[in-house]
Amino acid sequence: MQIICPANAPQEGPAVPVTREDLIEHISSGCKTRDRWRIGTEHEKLGFRVADKRRMDYDEIRQVFGKLESRFGWKPIKEGDLTIGVALDKQTVTLEPGGQFELSGAPVATLHQTCAEVNSHLYQAKSIAEELGIGFLGSGFDPKWAINEIPVMPKDRYRLMKAYMPTVGTRGLDMMFRTCTIQVNLDYESEADMVEKFRIGLALQPVAVALFANSPFCEGKPTGEVSTRARVWMDVDKARTGGLPFVFEKGMSFERYVDYAMDVPMYFVYRKGKYIDALGMSWRDFMERQLQRQQQQLQRQQARQPVPCAAALASPAAAPNPLS
């Protein structure tokens, strides 16, 4: 089975069950010979209004998207009637929950091409931003603005995430709205090569944090740490963040990673243009159709509930209307 993994606007295909074996095969199919290896980078930054030093909102970001389309030939990425990103030549520019501006680069062969791609993106974004009175800040953590000062982007998935994050850690909202990063995606030649790169990447994380730490401030004050971003990620959601000790164990494989991924709690399921709450349910649960059974049970419970009569709804002394 071929599995399509859209990276930006949600898409919906045939409701064909995906098995554990399908997932293992999907990861295995990513093996490439060395001459086909590519590098993919993601580059995030904070945007703010120069005049009053406030984080830019969706309307301002929408204007940046529009000028990227008209001036540089990017194509819009839509979620309903809203533009939530733009795409060009296997690159996309999209939004994080607090409006962090993210370039997801195309697969390229060398670091020199990655550098050229980022510089081209920054030239386009900054030339447009200057016209609109917007600046960009490259920092791992927002140094100035409180969470309640940051506009929430109009993606329905973020509504679910914002409600869920405080239930599983103390810094989830900081992660969503106040962090930025640069990420790299690498190809692999074989299962053994994937395991080796996975282990090296995890082992080098503390070194990378130390080398590139640039977030010592929060809400205008020193935090006492050179990487506030790293501190945030230590208490976001232990079910989906942090170290992965099993990667260093004997027997690490595509299969072992799929077993881990299938037990990570989900956020949502996308059906018929709607985000369906699947918070707390694992992918494995979903594959066993537990979400469908829960929805059917909820519908049966709602069908059994009595509907208040019109007189009761109109009476000032009546209990509060549960439908309001």
What average pLDDT does range 19-41 have in this prediction? 96
Contact 75, 86 (CB under 8 A): yes
Cα(62)–Cα(79) distance, rounded to whole angstroms?
Answer: 13
Q: How confident is the model at residue 27 (pLDDT cuts 50, 70, 90)?
A: very high
Contact 285, 262 (CB under 8 A): no
Q: 32 vs 8, which has greater pLDDT?
A: 32
pLDDT at 298: 54
In this structure, is residue 304 part of a structural domain?
no
**Would the pLDDT of 121 be above 70?**
yes
In this structure, is residue 23 part of a structural domain?
no
Specify the pairing of strand 75-79 against strand 82-88.
antiparallel
Q: How confident is the model at residue 86 (pLDDT cuts 50, 70, 90)?
A: very high
Closest to 17 in 3D by CA, of 40, 33, 1: 1
In this structure, is residue 311 part of a structural domain?
no
The DSSP code for 109 is S
In this structure, is residue 33 part of a structural domain?
no
Out of 68-72, 77-81, 141-145, 170-174, least confident range: 77-81
Q: How confident is the model at residue 184 (pLDDT cuts 50, 70, 90)?
A: very high
What average pLDDT does range 49-73 have in this prediction? 96
Amino acid at 323: L
Closest to 178 in 3D by CA, of 217, 206, 207, 210: 217
Cα(233)–Cα(185) distance, rounded to whole angstroms?
Answer: 19
Amino acid at 110: T
What average pLDDT does range 268-279 have in this prediction? 82
pLDDT at 22: 93
Q: What is the mean pLDDT of the chain?
A: 87
pLDDT at 274: 81
Q: Of 14-18, 80-84, 85-89, which one has max mean pLDDT?
A: 85-89
Which helix (H) or strand (E) segment is 111 a member of? helix 111-132
pLDDT at 280: 75
Contact 48, 134 (CB under 8 A): yes
CA angle 156, 158, 160 (to 5 degrees): 85
**Would the pLDDT of 323 be above 60?**
no
pLDDT at 14: 61
Cα(8)–Cα(101) distance, rounded to whole angstroms?
Answer: 13
**Would the pLDDT of 302 be above 90?**
no
pLDDT at 156: 82
In this structure, is residue 150 part of a structural domain?
yes
pLDDT at 131: 96
In this structure, is residue 191 part of a structural domain?
yes
**Domain tally, the chain:** 1
Give the domain extent around 112: 38-245
In this structure, is residue 289 part of a structural domain?
no
Cα(30)–Cα(176) distance, rounded to whole angstroms?
Answer: 29
Q: Which CATH number fits the domain that encloses residue 111? A: 3.30.590.20
Q: Of 102-116, 149-163, 264-278, which one has max mean pLDDT?
A: 102-116
pTM: 0.83
Closest to 145 in 3D by CA, of 45, 43, 46: 46
What average pLDDT does range 41-54 have in this prediction? 96
In this structure, is residue 49 part of a structural domain?
yes
pLDDT at 266: 87
Cα(183)–Cα(41) distance, rounded to whole angstroms?
Answer: 6
Closest to 149 in 3D by CA, of 52, 47, 55: 55
pLDDT at 316: 34
pLDDT at 107: 97
pLDDT at 299: 61
